[in-house]
Amino acid sequence: MIPVQGYAGQKVAVLGMGRTGRAAAKALAAGGAQVVVWDDGPGGREAAENDGYDLLDLTKPTSFEGVTALIVSPGIPHLYPAPHPAIAAAWDEGVPVDNDIGLFFRSFATPDWHSFDTPPRVIAVTGSNGKSTTAALIHHILVENGRPAQLAGNIGRGVLDIDPAHDGEVVVLELSSYQTDLARSLTPDVAVFTNFSADHLDRHAGLGGYFAAKRRLFAEGGPDRAVIGVDEPEGRYISNQLSEGAEDDRVIRISSGQKITAGWAVFARKGFLSEYRKGRQVGSIDMRDIDGLPGAHNHQNGCAAYAACRTLGLGPKGIEAAMRSYPGLPHRSQLVGEKDGVRFVNDSKATNVDSAAKALTAFDNIRWICGGLQKEGGLEALLPHLDRVQKTYVIGREAEDFARQLTGADCAVCGTMEEAVKCAIADAVPGDVVLLAPASASFDQYDSFEKRGEDFMAQVTRHIA
């Protein structure tokens, strides 16, 4: 645990008592703060009382008397579509609002570091897609190369749940827009921006607000090194804002598909990763047979992880060896099994149109299972990739509307995962890939994308065992 610094003897309120809120309350108490908590749900309040915390209804007038700060869990809106009443009340009373990420960055460094030979480092990864894979891959590469490392944030452990840093340790954080948007302190040593596409538009009041939340990691944090995906205008904008010129090696530009030779760059084309510095190639990896990183989108993730690890002094050969042993993450291009020449791939994490499109480009002869709770923007961006799809099997509450938008596709409206897997298996022939890449949120039928992926795997296992 990381005890929170700066609040000893002060009254601090925590709003939301899920995993993040409970960890924040514990870390605040460990740092000597007087912690009061509130949750809108009776279950959360009961859990907090069982943990020994005092409840304070933060939505009532005068609740913030004597409160030094309000710490908010990431799922609670703080601005759009509308601020939570407790947050609005904190604003009115002049009480600073922060989150666990802000607490982490103000508390991670300790006086113990003066005795370390090598200061601990923080690598923070954000972007629309590929954050989890990139963060997990960086962590895997570090560990395989003998570097002490912890993985936390939106993946692995909560940021305040990790152990205090050891000499030379690297903490790898995956940070969502919900987390970067509110944190009052953002000071990573290395910041990574994977890519950008529309997502969470209601929470950020549109594409501009969503981008602004991502950009804060670079604009507010001032990292020593920035690894920026430049395949979209937003990434090119950030890299230009941070760089003092083409040869400024504080910025490493990454790409999947385009060659970059100016400055420090890492890019992948046709499955080959190349690193260029000052116009010369200094490293390369053939990624085509790395099982844990299939497809161009994962090659982009590989470029980001490679670049981040190079900033820490790791060599290309050590990085490549670790990439080849990377097992991949559950629900992200995860090979579930194979039978009679048909492969089954679980990409339940493809919760938006852009991530689903990238999943479709990674395979041929696809039996595509998709559908769920649609996000803003429609499905038009998927249409250019339907030439890889043999047939589509649509699930979810909005299955019929989803199928209508896939113009020209051979669609079967299945409704449930069980029916979709059954139909796909019945239609599949050797060489096909049955791919779950929903392009939608899961909440119409499942509690999470993990539960959706687990259902897919269970249905597949039942049929191929």
Q: Look up the CATH number of the domain holding residue 350.
A: 3.90.190.20
CA angle 90-91-93, nearest 5°?
65
pLDDT tens, position by position, 175-188? 999 999 999 999 99
How far is Cα 357 from Cα 291, in angstroms, rounded to an integer? 20
Locus of tokens 């933060």 = 58
Considering the domain architecture, whether residues 385 and 441 belong to the same structural domain is answered as: yes
What single-letter amino acid sits at 295? G
Considering the domain architecture, whether residues 301 and 201 belong to the same structural domain is answered as: yes
Is 131 one of the annotated binding-site residues? yes
Split into its structural domains, the chain has a count of 3
Residue numbers of the domain that contains 295: 105-324
Residue 180 lies in a domain: yes
Listed residues 76, 98, 120: the one ending a domain: 98
Query: With 80 as the cut, is the pLDDT of residue 156 above it?
Result: no
Query: With 80 as the cut, is the pLDDT of residue 221 above it?
Result: no
Considering the domain architecture, whether residues 22 and 67 belong to the same structural domain is answered as: yes
Strand order in the sheet with 264-269: 149-153, 170-174, 121-126, 190-193, 225-229, 251-256, 264-269, 272-277, 280-286
Considering the domain architecture, whether residues 306 and 345 belong to the same structural domain is answered as: no
- What pLDDT score does 329 carry? 84
Is 442 one of the annotated binding-site residues? no
Residue 77 lies in a domain: yes
Is 197 one of the annotated binding-site residues? no
Residue 2 lies in a domain: no
- What pLDDT score does 433 carry? 97
Residue 301 lies in a domain: yes
Entry pTM: 0.86
Query: With 80 as the cut, is the pLDDT of residue 297 above it?
Result: yes
Is 298 one of the annotated binding-site residues? no
Q: Which helix (H) or strand (E) holds 269?
A: strand 264-269
Considering the domain architecture, whether residues 15 and 110 belong to the same structural domain is answered as: no
Is 127 one of the annotated binding-site residues? yes
User: Taking Cα atoms as reference points, which of 113, 111, 135 lies closest to residue 124?
Assistant: 135
Is 16 one of the annotated binding-site residues? no
Is 146 one of the annotated binding-site residues? no
Locus of tokens 């949750």 = 39
Lowest mean pLDDT among 96-100, 137-141, 198-202: 198-202
Q: How confident is the model at residue 291 (pLDDT cuts 50, 70, 90)?
A: confident
